[in-house]
Amino acid sequence: MNENEQLLEQVADRVRNSARGHGEPLPAPLGSGEIARAEGILGFALPSLLSALYTRIGDGGFGPECGLLPLRQTVRNYEAHRASGWRWPEGVLPIADFGCTMYACVDCRSETAQVLLFDPSLGEPDLAWSIDTPSLAGWLRGWLDGTAWFCEESELGEERDLELAPWAEFRSRI
Q: 10 Å Cβ neighbour count for 6? A: 11
Strands 92-99 and 115-118, bridge-based pairing: unpaired
pLDDT per residue over 53-104, tens digit each? 999 999 999 988 888 999 999 999 999 988 887 778 999 999 999 888 889 9
Domain ranges of the chain: 3-173
Segments of the chain with pLDDT less than 70: 19-23, 152-162
pTM of the predicted model as reported, rounded to 2 decimal places: 0.89
At the fourth CATH level, the homologous superfamily of domain 3-173 is SMI1/KNR4-like (3.40.1580.10)
